[in-house]
Structure 1
Amino acid sequence: MDTAPTFSADTETALWQQVAADMARTPDLLEYTATLHQNGYQVQLELNIDLGGGFESGYETTTFRAVVPGQTALHFALHEQDWVHELGKLLGLQDVELGDPELNAAYIVSTNHPDQLRALLLSDPVVRQTLLQYQELRLDLTADPAAPQAGTLLTFTKEQALTNPAQLQEIYHMLLVLLRQLAPKPLAAAGGPDSGR
């Protein structure tokens, strides 16, 4: 079994040049995992494609995971609207309104701190734009089930394998924006602030 590659850079552009080159060298992306390090943050990328066969249908997923450094009291789950969740709302399940009509129409949101979540998701237009561009996703911030004492896990999941590095970078950038808001860290002195591209 191959070891998952690890990439590190001071800027997002340099980091994603490495990832794109590695993905281009990978003969098939049925299973691809990489760990990305930038300015004190670590994000894991996983692509899984199961083609199925016989009577089984396949599946595909794109997942990003990042441990949020430090402690945060905020927890949330954001996922696409569909008829099952609409039925749940009719039966009394709570859906937090974000104060943005397009996001409210696209997602069901639950959280323990509505105002803090609104500020997190609406303070940077890149977050809103990315959420609207890649709908039918799940984004959550919860205690790490494998190690609850270790911190909070920010997870993006889409039931589609996104194999275009430019698309993956857009999602990564959104997560990096969220991480910087949830757990600000000093940037590496050599790299300076990165505009995200």
Structure 2
Amino acid sequence: METLHTFTGSTQDEIWQKVAYDMASQKELLSYSALVQLNDTQIYFDTDLDLGGGFEGGISSTNFMAPVPENVSLRFSLHEQGWMDEVGKFFGMEDVELGYPDIDEAFIIKTNQPDTLKQLLSDPTVHQLLLNHKSCELKLHDDADDSGHETVLTFSKDEAILNIAELREIYDMLYRLLQQLRQLV
């Protein structure tokens, strides 16, 4: 079972110095899971790198997950737009246009509240980070597991991101989005 490393602090700088030190001290960084807690905001992340062997090609991934206040009614999903999506749109697949040409072109967007999502993605830092990670999936959705039902904000990418600066940028984007979502309640 993977060890969950937990980090708390009074500032993001303090926390991410701890994360960087801990990740650097790992002998082989093939998988890493952490909970980063700043004030009342918890964001989990994990990276996984399986090199495969023999004829296997290996897989890698990075996932972030953060619980969202229960009262938030917004739901959305953004994922990279590919040729299959173009076919799907031809047959009526949902793809909301937010009015940000670069975002609208890069992602298939599904949401129950287009105007709210447009406002949420208006932050230039969030906007640019999404464009830097076009192959990601960003979702605000309901999740259920053994402990019950909760609403979560997730970021996932089929790439093991091990660069601390990149991990922190993604964390910062999610932290910003969570702060904005709390204002919606």
Q: Give the shorter-chain TM-score range.
A: over 0.9
More strand by share: 2
Correspondence list, 1:129-144, <5 A: 129-144=128-143
Q: Report how far residue 70 of structure 1 moved.
A: 3.2
Equivalent-residue separation in structure 2 for 1:52 and 1:84 (angstroms)? 28
Correspondence list, 1:116-135, <5 A: 116-122=116-122, 124-135=123-134
Q: Report how far residue 151 of structure 1 moved.
A: 2.5
Q: Report how far residue 129 of structure 1 moved.
A: 1.0
Equivalent-residue separation in structure 2 for 1:105 and 1:9 (angstroms)? 38
Same amino acid, percent of matched pairs: 46
| CA RMSD, Structure 1 to Structure 2 (Å) | 1.5
Question: RCO (CA 8 Å, sep 6+): is it higher in 1 or 2?
Answer: 1
Equivalent-residue separation in structure 1 for 2:97 and 2:49 (angstroms)? 34
Equivalent-residue separation in structure 2 for 1:180 and 1:64 (angstroms)? 16
Correspondence list, 1:53-132, <5 A: 53-122=53-122, 124-132=123-131
Deviations 1:9-54 (A, max 9, x none): 1211111111011110011221100100002100001001111123
Equivalent-residue separation in structure 2 for 1:125 and 1:32 (angstroms)? 29
**1:32–1:46 CA contact under 8 A, matched in 2:** yes
What SS does structure 2 have at the residue aligned with 1:144?
strand
TM-score (norm: length of structure 1): 0.88
Equivalent-residue separation in structure 1 for 2:69 and 2:9 (angstroms)? 19
Q: Report how far residue 75 of structure 1 moved.
A: 0.6
Total equivalences in the alignment: 183
What SS does structure 2 have at the residue aligned with 1:136?
coil
Equivalent-residue separation in structure 2 for 1:84 and 1:159 (angstroms)? 18
Equivalent-residue separation in structure 1 for 2:133 and 2:162 (angstroms)? 14
> What letter is aligned with 1:176?
Y
Equivalent-residue separation in structure 2 for 1:27 and 1:87 (angstroms)? 46
**2:2–2:33 CA contact under 8 A, matched in 1:** no
TM-score (norm: length of structure 2): 0.94
Q: Which residue of 2 aligns with 1:173?
A: 172
